[in-house]
Amino acid sequence: MSSTIRGHTESSLDVPALESEDNAAKITISNVGKVFVSDNKLTTALTKTNLIVRDGEFLVIVGPSGCGKTTLLRILAGLETPSFGEVKIAASNSDRPLHSMVFQERSIFPWMRVIDNVAYGLRVRGVNRRVALERANEFIAKVGLTKFAQAYPHELSGGMKQRVSIARAFANDPEVLLMDEPFASLDEQTKLLMQEELLHIWDENKKTVVYVTHSLQEAVLLGDRVIVLSAHPGRIKAEVTVNFPRPRYHQLTTTPEFYALTSHLWELLKDEVVTANQLDGLYTNQE
Amino acid sequence: MSPDLTSKDGTAHISREILRANRNRKILHHSLSIAMPFFLLLLWEILSRQGWIDTRFFSMPSQIAVAFWKLIENGQLLKDVTASLTRVLVGFAIGGIPGIIIGILMGQSSVIRSLLNPIVAAIYPIPKLAILPLLLYIFGLGEASKYAVIAIGVFFILVVNTMTGAMGVPAIFTEVGKEYGASRLTIFRTIVLPSALPVIFAGIKLAWGTAFLLIVAAEFVGAKSGIGYLIWNSWQVFSIEQMYVGLIVIAFLGFITLLILDGLEAKLLPWRKHV
């Protein structure tokens, strides 16, 4: 497999340099920040952030725990309101929902059969039952669960439930797909399988994706571009473009180029992880 | 590994053996469970015929059976069972439906919870039998006082259980609803209610058992029908066999109705153990 790293650019994104760069902006995040109140004190979860996600781009956000990456995603999902700034998602069609989230597999409703779980978004939007079930069946087939369409989630394994969660988001046909560490609680082998399956489904329709993860390998394997967030308070520290050709498979992870890029990301992230864990003293002697 | 084991026939043979042993063990355990009560009854009969236990307190099973048959024949048993069951069902409906609704509201709204929780928490631990005299005073000796004691008893159990269920809906489920654009009402209907149902059902079963306890006690005092009346009246006329009939019938009723509730739960909520 031939793969090239076309290099990466690192910039502080406080400068809105990207805004003019691409007019096919799908998501425009301008000056978005989040402040929480805890113990009567204000804590900044995310400092003012500017970011543009291009149409059809697979954007991955990595960062240490508590860096605000989940906060940013939840703001995009409408589950948190930003304390300042605004998010715009460009709509191509007023019938389509702006965003659908692939939640972790424990988000699958135990009281609904697989088919009704997958059709949930469509039904909530008032899509006619027959049409919704048809669409759901189509995506159940895409994730290989046709035999389990009428099963209840407790009859499924963790990986199969995660497939239901993916099918639920894709079947809803949103403008933007949001994913918050969807595979974090799966075992390692299942995770590898699921990553390839996700790549496969995504290659079919190339939706705009914002994907949050801890895993650098996952970030490089899946993403077109990786945003590195810094620890408390969260801010964009760097961004790295990933130019491996698609479709991508797991063999990519064994190439030196892949290794070089993940190492580079780790170098960028390491200081942040050290800060996040308050291990500064431990590392100052070595550096 | 011996070729015997790996060959197809050898493995099949061993699998059959294992399955048979497993089945035999299950049959044995079932038979023991079923046989034990009959064995005890037989022992009871023999001991009382031998005069080793006092038949004034522990009637012979055969005599209880005779009394049972008499009560069925003269229609009194059916009348008493119907009376008790009607009281339980009416009281359950009067107290249970508002209990579930208020429980859900308290689970969903922190304002309503703040308003009502102190009152519920204060009244919940009062043994409902303790207010039976008050209820008799207010509602008289008729049916109303029976309905009232059951309604009050099941109401508080269902409020507390339903509230717990409605509050315990995992946040991730409601977030899915929100993210997918569901309205508050839709989230309630498609997520909060089904997610809380197993706990609500557990509350219903608990309340049902309590209702039986309450009805028997309520029928002891000031009733002219019902299983409780049958038991109390038997004591007053020293008809000890009849009293045992009453005990057996109330136990059987409780057992059967709980089986029905279990079956209903399994049918309606096949996923209940996996929320």
A174-208: pLDDT as tens digits: 999 999 999 988 888 888 888 998 999 899 888 99
Which range of residues forms the domain containing residue B189? 61-274
Question: Between chains, do B180 and A110 touch, taking CB under 8 Å as contact?
Answer: no
In a domain, B56, yes or no: no
In a domain, A250, yes or no: yes
| Cα–Cα distance for residue pair B275/A111, rounded to 1 Å | 8
A215-245: pLDDT as tens digits: 999 999 999 999 998 877 778 888 999 999 9
B25, B74: one domain? no
Among partner residues A124, A152, A153, which is closest to B181 by beta-carbon distance?
A124
Looking at residue B11, its pLDDT comes to 80
As for how many domains chain B has, the answer is 2
Q: How confident is the model at residue A63 (pLDDT cuts 50, 70, 90)?
A: confident
Question: Between chains, do A154 and B273 touch, taking CB under 8 Å as contact?
Answer: yes
Looking at residue A92, its pLDDT comes to 85
In a domain, A42, yes or no: yes
Looking at residue B1, its pLDDT comes to 45
B15, B136: one domain? no
In a domain, B54, yes or no: no
Q: What is the ipTM of this complex?
A: 0.83
B262, B146: one domain? yes
CB A186 within 8 A of CB A35: no
B148-179: pLDDT as tens digits: 999 999 999 999 999 999 999 999 999 999 99
In a domain, B229, yes or no: yes
Looking at residue B201, its pLDDT comes to 94
Looking at residue B55, its pLDDT comes to 84
A116-136: pLDDT as tens digits: 999 999 999 999 999 999 999
CB B124 within 8 A of CB B160: yes
Q: What is the CATH number of the domain that holds A44?
A: 3.40.50.300
Question: Between chains, do A152 and B274 touch, taking CB under 8 Å as contact?
Answer: yes
Q: Find chain A residues with C-beta within 8 A of B182's C-beta.
A: 124
Point out the residues of chain B with pLDDT beneath 50. 1-6
Does pLDDT of A3 surpass 50?
Answer: no
In a domain, B150, yes or no: yes
Among partner residues A104, A111, A172, which is closest to B194 by beta-carbon distance?
A111
